[in-house]
């Protein structure tokens, strides 16, 4: 207990460094977060294109996962020192992210909103799901266009 209190006191005294993380670990977490988005949108895109049979329960599950990911605040995953200028070859996160954090947050909020709308209709049929999915895909694209490099 005493140790815990001391640790808490140290954390309070050094807010910037007490929870400092290894930048590469943070990039791994960030890419894992976006990989989960990709893994959940993939089957929905396959259903929308008719490559996979539409399955209402499966569609609803993936859409609920996308909505859940939208309620996670990802901004701490963009810690300073983790752009592709800082860590070439490890990340595609462009330095523009750190110059436009408000816009990045707004673009993520647009994704979250579209994902909620998708979750509301994904189990209602292929056409309903497909229309809402297109709107989600546009929010992915909008952020990638401005803030993700083509290559590592």
Q: Which residues bind ligand HEC (CB under 6 A)?
A: 27, 30-31, 34-35, 37-38, 41, 91-93, 104, 107-108, 111, 136, 139-140, 143-144, 147-148
Q: How large is the greatest C-alpha to C-alpha distance in the chain, in angstroms?
A: 60
Q: Which is nearer to ligand HEC, 41 or 132 (CB)?
A: 41
CA distance 32 to 24: 12
Q: Which is nearer to ligand HEC, 53 or 145 (CB)?
A: 145
Closest distance to ligand HEC from the beta carbon of 81 (Å): 12
Query: Over the range 64-77, which residues count as b (16 or more CB within 10 Å of their CB) and which as e?
Result: bbbbebbeeebeeb
Q: Which is nearer to ligand HEC, 31 or 55 (CB)?
A: 31
Closest distance to ligand HEC from the beta carbon of 11 (Å): 27
Is the CB of residue 129 less than 8 Å from the CB of residue 121?
A: yes
Closest distance to ligand HEC from the beta carbon of 120 (Å): 16
Q: Which is nearer to ligand HEC, 10 or 28 (CB)?
A: 28
End-to-end CA distance of the chain, in Å? Answer: 45
Closest distance to ligand HEC from the beta carbon of 19 (Å): 20
């Amino acid at each position: 207990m005493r140790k815990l209190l001391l640790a808490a006191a140290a954390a309070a005294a050094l807010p910037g460094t007490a929870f400092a993380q290894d930048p590469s670990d943070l990039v791994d977490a960030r890419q894992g977060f976006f990989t989960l988005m990709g893994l959940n949108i993939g089957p929905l895109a396959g259903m929308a294109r008719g490559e996979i049979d539409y399955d209402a329960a499966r569609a609803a599950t993936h859409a609920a996962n996308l909505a859940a990911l939208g309620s996670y605040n990802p901004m701490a995953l963009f810690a300073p020192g983790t752009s592709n200028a800082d860590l070439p070859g490890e990340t595609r996160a462009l330095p523009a992210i750190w110059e436009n954090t408000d816009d990045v947050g707004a673009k993520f909020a647009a994704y979250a909103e579209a994902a909620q709308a998708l979750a509301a209709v994904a189990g209602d049929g292929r056409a309903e799901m497909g229309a809402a999915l297109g709107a989600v895909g546009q929010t992915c694209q909008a952020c990638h266009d401005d803030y993700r490099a083509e290559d590592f």
